[in-house]
Amino acid sequence: MMQLDELNDKQREAAVYVDGPLLILAGAGSGKTKTITHRIAYLIEEENVNPYNIMAITFTNKAAGEMRERIDRIVGFGSESIWVMTFHATCVRILRRFIDQIGYDRNFTIYDTDDSKSVMKAVFKKLQIDPKQYKEATVLREISNAKNELLGPDDYALQNAADFGKKRYIDAYREYQETLRKSNALDFDDLIRLTVYLLKACPEVLENYQHRFRYIMVDEYQDTNTAQFVLIKLLADAHKNLCVVGDDDQSIYKFRGANIKNILNFEKNYPDAKVIKLEQNYRSTQNILNAANAVISNNTGRKTKKLWTAREEDMPVRFRMYDSGKEEAEEIVDEIIRLKRRGEYEYGDCAILYRTNAQSRAFEEAFVYQSIPYHIVGGVNFYARKEIKDVLAYLKTIDNAKDDLAVRRIINVPKRGIGAASITKVQEYADSRGISFFDACTEAEQIPTLGKAAEKIKNFSLMIRVFRTRLEDSGILEITQKLLEDTQYIEEIQASDEDDAEDRIANIDELLTKIQLYEEDNPEGTLSEFLEEVALVSDLDAVDEGDSRVLLMTVHSAKGLEFPVVYLSGMEDGVFPSYMTINSGNEEDIEEERRLAYVAITRAKDILAISSARARMIRGETQYNAVSRFVKEIPQEYLKGEVPIQRVRWDEVPSQGSKARDFFRENPYHANRTDAGKTYVPKKIVLSKGSDLTSEKPDYQVGDRVVHIKFGEGTVTAMEQTPRDIQVTVVFDSVGQKIMYAMFAKLKKI
């Protein structure tokens, strides 16, 4: 017999409310899964509902598995008749039985993402669509969006008939869908779209499932898209016994098509709906919840709720501002080590959260240097990412062309028309002559079977040799930037229009930052020494897989998880929220980012440590950004440490130029001062951009002798105005030529 006394008052109210539409607004850590499983048990044991008539839908296989396990344990006999599965699995089961009624065979194939890409590649070829003008990934995304809005090829064509720019999309969608049809195949979006089509086209099929599923429950309702909304509405319309569970404050998947209006408008779609709020949190301390409540209350598009806890122990949320991103990573890792040594927490109790995957690099290096085991959730190690391995392979080839593996990796990256067959011929030639693969490339014209590829291979080898010559007079950063420019590597990523293109470019920017930091710390360091350091950092063999490991992840990856200790890093405007979000001017985008911050805060159980950096190097350039607006939204009484918002007198703030830069670098958030009752919130300051910050010209010119704080004395040999700043070339007496931006260099005329 189930025990309702295990539930709190609101959970119990939700569990026993069985007739009619029900919206359970379940705040973070409020025990929603427990409520759902007890509700199912109550239906069976107290209301005598046949398990056969119950359906529970989740979003992930993992969530479905966990719910199935709990239901089996509580319900016992008969629980196997309950449908507990994902949206896609539900649709597959329906389609396997009835899809023949809409013209498909029941033994249809399901195409995954790679299959869809292959089909689209063939579509482009057949329709002679120029891949330079239209990107396969863009067209596939457009088709996916159309299917999520339940638009088939004809509906999509009708909706976009007046848009000449969409003509090729219309043609591609038709051909793509026809190809799938001929193959009796469905992609993931078709599974839901065609199920909806089936239910609408075949009333007897719809009536069959409406009769069966008298009680329907949907988890994570805030993440549903239009097609999923319609599917559920169709199935529930006969009995209206629809229970949806979700938290609009945790709706963070708009980029995947999630429509937050589905949960916000539930009462509009079901006027008789009962709304029950689960606000008691069983995870976090009250101060953590106070911080979360304060942040999310700034959103206007939400259902009002306020999390609270009965936990007695409590400590303030900690906030600290570090001088740099590097210091932030090192200090956080040191603190985790101290927590472990004091026996307070294990490594596996600690998680570091950040906005983008690129931010993991500094933490990874700090962990490896300290020999601390860690694991990246939902991603790969920084130095194992394709774009990073590609750029490093170029640098390895420039440094040591005998590294055949590196040369073979990038000989056709970006694509330069050198196919696998040509690479094999070069390798065979190298083997027959007993020379390296690169040396064979330099002799490409002597390989008779290469044909037209010989010229392309020769040009590749010439480019590498030119860069090797430049290395004698240029720094590693300069070489890498020029390499990216000449190969147009970043442009190719942008042109691919893949979903992760922005993240991949951010990773390259972070590698440039790593190189800049290396050169600052090692003025005499060589490319070989840099590559050696990177190789040691990326060698994770020493990590004991058996140890509990610190977890690193983006906030998106952390949704649904919880940790005793959470470090929320990089909390600066321009990082979290991102520049793109801030500059979009769309308040809905800001609210989505704020929901993401809310999710991050509510992952913490015992300790939440929020951090930012006064200066953060991005793309090899130092930027000074304000503390994130989301941190500023937390009342100071809930925080311990440095105060994120300070008041300063207006007349104390320089208006522009280097004086403003120096003021905020030295006093970015100084202690509260007497003021005129106004708060000054500094805007983003990027030292390499912006007319105000570069308006003061250096007092030196070409031919002058100057001194640098690290490199010593030297002679200015060139000065060039760029959109970012004045680029200065100096030949230093001790370290040779360096090229730098004037505002970074702080050169003084002798």
What residues are labeled active site? Answer: 32-33, 219-220, 250, 603
Distance CA 593, CA 251 (A): 10
Distance CA 611, CA 632 (A): 12
* Residues belonging to the chain: 750
CA 28 to chain centre: 21
Q: Encoding tokens for residue 429? A: 């030639």
Q: Please list, in sequence order, all residues whose beta carbon lies within 8 angstroms of the beta carbon of residue 649, skipping any fewer than 6 positions away.
A: 673, 674, 675, 676
Would you say 255 and 114 are in contact if contact means Cβ atoms under 8 Å apart?
A: no
Instruction: Quickly tell me which residue has 């004395």 as its tokens.
Output: 713
CA 500 to chain centre: 8
What 3-state DSSP class applies to 631? helix
Distance CA 557, CA 622 (A): 28
Distance CA 444, CA 42 (A): 76
Distance CA 151, CA 143 (A): 9
Q: Please list, in sequence order, all residues whose beta carbon lies within 8 angstroms of the beta carbon of residue 200, skipping any fewer than 6 positions away.
A: 206, 234
* Listed residue (219, 209, 217) closest to 246, CA to CA: 219
Q: Encoding tokens for residue 100? A: 């023949």
CA 496 to chain centre: 18
Give exposure, 42-59, as e/b (b: 16+ Cβ within 10 Å). Answer: bbbeeeebebebbbbbbb
* Listed residue (52, 58, 46) closest to 19, CA to CA: 46
The radius of gyration of the chain's CA atoms, rounded to the nearest angstrom, is 30
Would you say 580 and 365 are in contact if contact means Cβ atoms under 8 Å apart?
A: no
The string of DSSP letters for 109-177 reads: EEE-HHHHHHHHHHHHHHHT--TTTS-HHHHHHHHHHHHHTT--HHHHHHHTTT-GGGHHHHHHHHHHH
Distance CA 102, CA 193 (A): 12
Q: Please list, in sequence order, all residues whose beta carbon lies within 8 angstroms of the beta carbon of residue 391, skipping any fewer than 6 positions away.
A: 480, 483, 484, 489, 508, 511
